[in-house]
Structure 1
Amino acid sequence: MIAEPSRALSSAIEPFAGQVYFAPECHRGYAALGFGPSPATSGGVEIPDIPAYFCSRGSALGQAPGAVIAATFAVFNPAVVVPAVEYGWTLTDAPSIRAARTEGSVGQLSRVLGAAPEGVQRAVQLLSRAVDGLSVAGKPLFAGLVADGLVGEPLADAWLLADQLREFRGDAHVNAWDAAGFDAVEIGLITELYLGFPPRTYIRTRAWSDEQLTAGEARLAERGLARDGTITDAGRAAREAIETATDAACAPIVARLGEDLEELTALVGGWSAQLLAAGAFPKG
């Protein structure tokens, strides 16, 4: 059980919002714009084409250069992000891939949950309350999604609002680990250990080289945070402090929802469970 309310809400939202990255409907939409199809499956889902991933998620920033998208995403190797984005913008523009992203995401949600799942109007009401008036300072992806607005269709708006909350926490998390003195390689390495993943597994998706990972491991060891593939007590405390700082940044969401936070967590969490069961989001 996740006791912290903002973490509980984030966990409930994650598959509902994050299924966009694995939706076959999205992959088809990106391919229609000239991107490659899904290159492989992982965890039972289709993973996205790399340029399509960076450009579709980065479209919240408009027609941003690769360096800006790399800086905003923060955890990926810029040497991979920059050329992928530059290539992607030769195929399409931000509004077109943004539209394909939304259409594909809602397509998968409709296929799994139905076009009007029970409680969707209530979810839109609560999600709107959670988002309304949140500060965009230091939250570039969140700010971009808010500026893009809603479409006026309940299921689409529920997803768009959930995506906003997901990126709000993500932006806050980047701010927290950066302020704590971690770099992108270090935070990926220590997070694997903090979550109980084998070393150098999940971070492989961030495109860092073996040399960069080895250097990052050495820096963590020098700080007494992780050594020989094991997180230390000091490392666990430092990593938990980052999560606590992220929770603090998300406190306004909790305050806006008040007693209704549990209702929203249960409602969206139920949809997320359906998406997991249907293979629309990776398990584990």
Structure 2
Amino acid sequence: MQPRYMAPAGPVTYARRCAQALNSLHSILYFTTDLGEELAPFGVDEHSSVYMAGRASPLGAVGSAPVVGVFNSFAPGFVASTVPAVWDRVAPERAVEARQKAAGRAMERLLGRAVVESRALAEAAELATEAATEGLLADRPLYAANAALAWPDEPHVALWHAATLLREHRGDGHVAVLDWFEATDIRSLVIDCASGHGMPKEIVMPMRGWNEDEWSAARQHLATRGLVDGRGRLTARGAELRDEIEYDTSRLDRRPYEALGVERTEKLARFVHGLVNHAADTGVFPTPLRDFFAPPTEKWNDL
């Protein structure tokens, strides 16, 4: 681990809350059947293929190595089992169209037509769009690839698209920070699960294509660095490292929210949290992940 300054302690900012809400809004698509239904006519119907085609499509018909690199936490063999073969069935530009149609349909079904056609949602889309266009392109491959796409016309689809850009902007910066601390790939998942703030290991390990032996090896590696203890929990040093990773990730992600300013960032955060909780109440997220994507303490239902 590289020695660095200690991250300052303090409350979670509205920018961070806004980023969390937008990430959850982006993620809704991958917990519905809508994208799979849009891709099924192309012969893409297995869950991992649907996910890869949806999220990697802005990159073009790339091979598995670039996807492993930008996705960070997926096992290389797991990615290679789908990419690049999936592009033989659906062209990336068709997959982009499919995910926009699927996102629009999912949001309308989960939130209701009155919400997706409301002035409040249109205003949220405008705010999110303004923030999303203020991101930095340098060293942000997924954000840059999504930024090159045509902007959707419908406000609720535009909101999802903006949420996707902002999610990838933060994610690209997060991978850069993880690399600095030598905590990329499966190690980032082990740290997150050990913190008690990430998704449960039982869900995230198979979801990302890792096995028990690989997980144990990564945990042992982190233990030799003094970051986890014998029971797989973060040590004090590990907790400090995770806090610093999150702080630096937010620092690199500050530009879109600085462009909005505090008041408008808070307004967007509250509204999108309301949307996510409304969708979560329909059961869109599996029960073990309900609080991860829509924390009860953040239930600002301003719909």
Q: Same fold (TM over 0.5)?
A: yes
Aligned residue for 1:40? Answer: none
**Greater shift in the superposed pair: 131-140 or 104-113:** 131-140
Aligned residue for 2:257? Answer: 254
Question: Unpaired segments of 5 or more residues in structure 2?
Answer: 1-9, 292-303
Question: Unpaired segments of 5 or more residues in structure 1?
Answer: 38-48
Q: How many residues align?
A: 273
Deviations 1:248-280 (A, max 9, x none): 011112211112111111111111111111122
Amino acid at match of 2:67: I
**Does residue 1:29 correspond to 2:38, yes or no?**
yes
Aligned residue for 1:244? Answer: 247
- TM-score, structure 2 length as denominator? 0.85
Deviations 1:72-111 (A, max 9, x none): 1011011110231122112111011111111011101011
Aligned residue for 1:212? Answer: 214
Residues 220-231 of structure 1: pairs in structure 2 closer than 5 A: 220-228=222-230, 229-231=232-234
- TM-score, structure 1 length as denominator? 0.90
**Does residue 1:234 correspond to 2:237, yes or no?**
yes
Amino acid at match of 1:218: Q
Q: Is the 8 A contact 1:61 1:141 kept in 2?
A: yes
**Does residue 1:265 correspond to 2:269, yes or no?**
yes
Residues 178-217 of structure 1: pairs in structure 2 closer than 5 A: 178-196=179-197, 201-217=203-219
Query: C-alpha distance in 2, partners of 1:109/1:199?
Result: 28
Query: C-alpha distance in 1, partners of 2:259/2:215?
Result: 40
**Does residue 1:50 correspond to 2:53, yes or no?**
no
Deviations 1:179-237 (A, max 9, x none): 11113121110110113566565233211222222211111111000022111000000
Which of 57, 60, 72 is the aligned partner of 1:59? 57
* Corresponding residue SS for 1:152: coil
Offset of residue 23 of structure 1 = 2.0
Q: Is the 8 A contact 1:2 1:8 kept in 2?
A: no
Aligned residue for 2:93? Answer: 95
Query: C-alpha distance in 1, partners of 2:52/2:175?
Result: 17
Query: C-alpha distance in 1, partners of 2:273/2:200?
Result: 27
Amino acid at match of 1:31: A
Report the aligned-residue RMSD: 1.8
* Corresponding residue SS for 1:89: helix
Q: Percent identity?
A: 26
